[in-house]
Amino acid sequence: MTVIHNRTTLLAVLVILLFSSSCNKQDDQADEIVIEEFERDITYVLPYPVGSSYFVTQCNFGSFTHNNKASFAWDFDMFIGTTITASKAGNVIEIKEHIVDGDNSEGNFVKILHSDGTVGRYWHLTKNGALVEIGDFVNRGDTIALSGNTGFSTGPHLHFDVIYPETCDEKKVNTCETVAIGFINSIHPVPYDGRAFKALPY
Ligand SMILES: [Zn+2]
């Protein structure tokens, strides 16, 4: 009999997830049963209001920029000024919102510290697009920001990821290790490229 040695492996075996971890799947492949090699925290909600729906233009392990430590990230295609909501409850710890849309030098963002020590990041926001203040506590689903097109971006969209802040090297870009998460109010907890995902009631 095989002995399962670590918790991650045990969970991966027990939770035969009815979805795939990878991107770029066609719709007819979306329901394939795939056993993930890692554990995901599927307590998050999509970062936009219930009832709205946005296309994923780059998902986890996307070849453009979601690779290496930044693999667990999503890009949602959105017009400038689209309402962004908190994906998980927490305290607002950092905001940047002075950059003008179309300026690719720096991106505006809101960062929220969760109770488990991870930090949710909402990037490329519009100028003055933060609708919260540093120190505010927000619940899951609360309105926090307006999307935009600032920073390293080829068009208006929201980049969302969750990081382990202790892994970040402030002197370098893209050093933060992203957290494997999923969304409880999506038909597919791990949205993939090329289709829209509606935020369902939860
Ligand atoms: Zn991105």
Domains and CATH numbers, the chain: 40-198 (2.70.70.10)
Residue 157 C-alpha to ligand 1 middle, in angstroms? Answer: 8
Residue 127 C-alpha to ligand 1 middle, in angstroms? Answer: 18
DSSP code for 140: T
- Residue 31's pLDDT is 46
Residue 59 C-alpha to ligand 1 middle, in angstroms? Answer: 8
Residue 127 CB neighbour total at 10 angstroms: 18
Residue 3 C-alpha to ligand 1 middle, in angstroms? Answer: 39
Residue-wise pLDDT for 48-103, tens only, equals 999 999 999 999 999 899 999 999 999 999 999 999 999 999 999 999 999 999 99
Residue 60 C-alpha to ligand 1 middle, in angstroms? Answer: 9
- Residue 8's pLDDT is 41
Q: What DSSP element (H or E) covers 110? A: strand 108-113
Q: What DSSP element (H or E) covers 7? A: helix 7-14
Collect the ranges in the chain with pLDDT lower than 70: 1-37
Contact at 8 Å (CB) between 177 and 163?
yes
- Cβ neighbors of 3 (< 8 A, separation 6 or more) are none
- Residue 10's pLDDT is 36
